Chains A and B, each alone.
Chain A
């Protein structure tokens, strides 16, 4: 390989250079902006994590696996995984190999940043015999170009028919998104053409050498060489110039998001800092649209997380408010999101930004003290008060197991604070947490039993009850069966289990309730379940969804649950129970009720 152009420069590299400087400048601006928006403590934590060898290694590994190879997407949908990793990893390899070529053959050109990108234009095959490295590099370059082109071809097919790839709905790209998309599609075919027209001078691998031969059969001259190199450079320039304003911002932003998440940062503001990195990282793939329980109605499609991100980027305050208030906070979008974008937390942060003229104050409340002298305290909570069949069943099971227990809020107590948390009213929630904590500590119990996952989640995460074990009935009853404290007689009823959002996705409890049902009868599964279970539609997370608007969501969840033809629907949440009971065509029962029916003294 020898230099063909003495100066190593041609004006066609200028568009590329302009685009590169612009996009790098914008990324630098983005990094500084995000860092400045972080709180002092968070910034310190983030910067320290960068120099910590453990997190630094994790960062590199996560960036390589997620940004380049898209491992998570592969697991979910192999075709989409191939499409993304072929473009991302293929392009990355083209850039890396381009640099290796320059380093090996024309090391004095290392300072000319455009050289690796337009290598084939600037070099010619040397007079000597072909070397092994040269042949290998050419082959690899052509291989990865082919890989990228196959990914682009899949992307084009997906744009026309997304259903082939298992996606029912996808986002509508904005105008600039389309500009970015088409320029991205153009880059690699143009590179193929440009290298193809040049291969008889520069040499090439298995792809561009035959292409060059074909071209030269029809077009004997070299007039097409320069226009294609210009076009390639201009396509790169357009892509890089629109990148910061399109969904392609996720390419650089995710590399920022991963270290921030690994540093343990949390969402504290609905626009700034960590949230900004998240919003920029959203690739607008639209997986959350199919996942969202609200999407069962077309009118709600634009209230999904991907549109929340788009509106935050556009600064459309009115829509941000609407979208934030409507969400059920079931957390499914977070579960399926490829970049782990935390839509529910952004919404809660948005709700917390609101100011109210009337602020609740519970400090004057004097709740009845919790009964003392019992090891086990059962907190029914507001929702179980509305479904007394659950609290009765829980009491009956506890009696059968011969436990020394008492109910904490027999005549009504305070709320656990979780509904206030989801409404973004943290100060008020903390007041309740403090009061409840005092009551529980004063009672001297060592176990706090909860039948409501909404309470369970906040008791587990926010309450500081040293020496008190916080446990949900699903966990506790399963232990009672295991230890032989309860004798269970297997019935012949077929149950399907609905994973409540706060118990499954929220607290990671999936197996225990299933094991109880497996002992009580026969368990049938119905997809989607576990981490992807569909919200019952009754969630307190949504502030604005009305009674009538929730009906379709509940019916949709029921339709999926009953696909396997179960005799009864089992759940472990009083709110899910009440919601499903309204529309279900068969019995809806809490695991406590089921266990109470089939168990006797151990």
Chain B
């Protein structure tokens, strides 16, 4: 039976239960992560956005909510062009933040493998 609508699964995130280890680990190397005010300048300028919906703002938001897979999907399209770094009003070195994050994904996967 087709009713013209359907139920979508809940997208609620229980912040008491999410795994924030990746976010904390990144914040330890890139303390500037915590000064992001989510203005979205990075998203507006991103070269990769038309292809993967990449947005540094969303990546940070996803990490804060423990959504590692979603963040990884966006990151996989980053071309490191550096525009987000240039426009960031908080002066965050987003380009290095992305590189650090890509490295941490590796170490975390390795540790979990053990």
Please determine whether A358 and B83 come into contact, CB atoms closer than 8 angstroms. Answer: no
Please determine whether B47 and A382 come into contact, CB atoms closer than 8 angstroms. Answer: yes
Please determine whether A415 and B102 come into contact, CB atoms closer than 8 angstroms. Answer: no
Q: Provide the B75-114 mask, 1 if CB < 8 A to any CB of A, else 0.
A: 1111111110111100111011001011111111110000
Please determine whether B76 and A361 come into contact, CB atoms closer than 8 angstroms. Answer: yes
Please determine whether B106 and A356 come into contact, CB atoms closer than 8 angstroms. Answer: yes
Residue of B at shortest CB range from A432?
A: B79
With a CB–CB cut-off of 8 A, which chain B residues contact A514?
none
With a CB–CB cut-off of 8 A, which chain A residues contact B99?
356, 423, 543
In the bound assembly, the distance between CA atoms of A358 and B54 in angstroms comes to: 15
Please determine whether B106 and A357 come into contact, CB atoms closer than 8 angstroms. Answer: yes
With a CB–CB cut-off of 8 A, which chain A residues contact B83?
382-383, 385-386
Q: Is A365 an interface residue (CB 8 A)?
A: yes
With a CB–CB cut-off of 8 A, which chain B residues contact A547?
85, 88, 91-93
Residue of A at shortest CB range from B95?
A: A543
In the bound assembly, the distance between CA atoms of A386 and B46 in angstroms comes to: 10
State whether A358 and B79 are in contact (beta carbons under 8 Å apart), knowing that A412-B47, A412-B50, A548-B91 are contacts in the complex.
no
Interface residues in A345-368 by Cβ distance below 8 A to B read: 354-362, 364-367
Residue from the set B81, B95, B107 with the largest chain A CB neighbour count within 10 Å: B81
| Dominant secondary structure at the B interface | helix
Please determine whether B88 and A357 come into contact, CB atoms closer than 8 angstroms. Answer: no
Residue tally, chain A, CB below 8 Å to B: 40
Q: B interface, how many residues as a size bin?
A: 35 or more
Q: How far is the CB of B104 from chain A (nearest CB, A)?
A: 7
Q: How far is the CB of B32 from chain A (nearest CB, A)?
A: 7
Q: Is B51 an interface residue (CB 8 A)?
A: yes
Contact pick for B72, options A358, A366, A412, A420, CB 8 Å: A358
Residue of A at shortest CB range from B82?
A: A540
Q: Is B45 an interface residue (CB 8 A)?
A: yes
Q: Is A414 an interface residue (CB 8 A)?
A: yes
Contact pick for B87, options A357, A367, A386, A575, CB 8 Å: A386
Contact pick for B75, options A360, A425, A432, A545, CB 8 Å: A360
Please determine whether A360 and B105 come into contact, CB atoms closer than 8 angstroms. Answer: no
In the bound assembly, the distance between CA atoms of A292 and B32 in angstroms comes to: 26
In the bound assembly, the distance between CA atoms of A538 and B102 in angstroms comes to: 23
Please determine whether B47 and A358 come into contact, CB atoms closer than 8 angstroms. Answer: no
With a CB–CB cut-off of 8 A, which chain B residues contact A361?
76
In the bound assembly, the distance between CA atoms of A385 and B72 in angstroms comes to: 26
Please determine whether A543 and B81 come into contact, CB atoms closer than 8 angstroms. Answer: no
Please determine whether B105 and A419 come into contact, CB atoms closer than 8 angstroms. Answer: no
State whether A414 and B47 are in contact (beta carbons under 8 Å apart), knowing that A540-B82, A543-B95 are contacts in the complex.
yes
Please determine whether A356 and B102 come into contact, CB atoms closer than 8 angstroms. Answer: yes
In the bound assembly, the distance between CA atoms of A411 and B106 in angstroms comes to: 34
Q: How far is the CB of A539 from chain B (nearest CB, A)?
A: 9
Q: Is A133 an interface residue (CB 8 A)?
A: no
Q: Provide the A403-444 mask, 1 if CB < 8 A to any CB of B, else 0.
A: 000000001111101011001010010001000000000000
State whether A386 and B76 are in contact (beta carbons under 8 Å apart), knowing that A357-B109, A358-B106 are contacts in the complex.
no
In the bound assembly, the distance between CA atoms of A540 and B99 in angstroms comes to: 13
With a CB–CB cut-off of 8 A, which chain A residues contact B82?
382, 419, 540
Residue from the set B32, B80, B95 with the largest chain A CB neighbour count within 10 Å: B80
Please determine whether B86 and A419 come into contact, CB atoms closer than 8 angstroms. Answer: no
Please determine whether B86 and A425 come into contact, CB atoms closer than 8 angstroms. Answer: no
In the bound assembly, the distance between CA atoms of A452 and B85 in angstroms comes to: 18
Please determine whether B80 and A359 come into contact, CB atoms closer than 8 angstroms. Answer: no
Please determine whether B105 and A358 come into contact, CB atoms closer than 8 angstroms. Answer: yes
In the bound assembly, the distance between CA atoms of A444 and B17 in angstroms comes to: 56
Please determine whether A420 and B86 come into contact, CB atoms closer than 8 angstroms. Answer: no
In the bound assembly, the distance between CA atoms of A69 and B67 in angstroms comes to: 64
Residue of B at shortest CB range from A548?
A: B91
**Other A-B pairs, 9, CB within 8 Å; known A361-B76, A382-B82, A386-B86:** A355-B103, A357-B110, A360-B75, A360-B77, A360-B79, A420-B80, A423-B80, A544-B96, A547-B88
Listed by A's residue number, 27 A-B pairs whose Cβ atoms lie within 8 Å are: A356-B99, A356-B102, A357-B107, A357-B110, A358-B75, A359-B102, A360-B76, A360-B78, A360-B79, A362-B77, A365-B51, A382-B83, A412-B49, A413-B47, A414-B47, A414-B79, A420-B79, A423-B80, A425-B80, A428-B79, A540-B95, A543-B99, A545-B93, A546-B91, A546-B93, A547-B85, A547-B93
Which positions in A face B, CB cutoff 8 Å? 325, 354-362, 364-367, 382-383, 385-386, 411-415, 417, 419-420, 423, 425, 428, 432, 538, 540, 543-548, 575, 578
Closest A-B pairs by Cβ, 3 of them? A357-B106, A547-B91, A357-B105
Which positions in B face A, CB cutoff 8 Å? 32, 45, 47, 49-51, 72, 75-83, 85-88, 91-93, 95-96, 99, 101-110
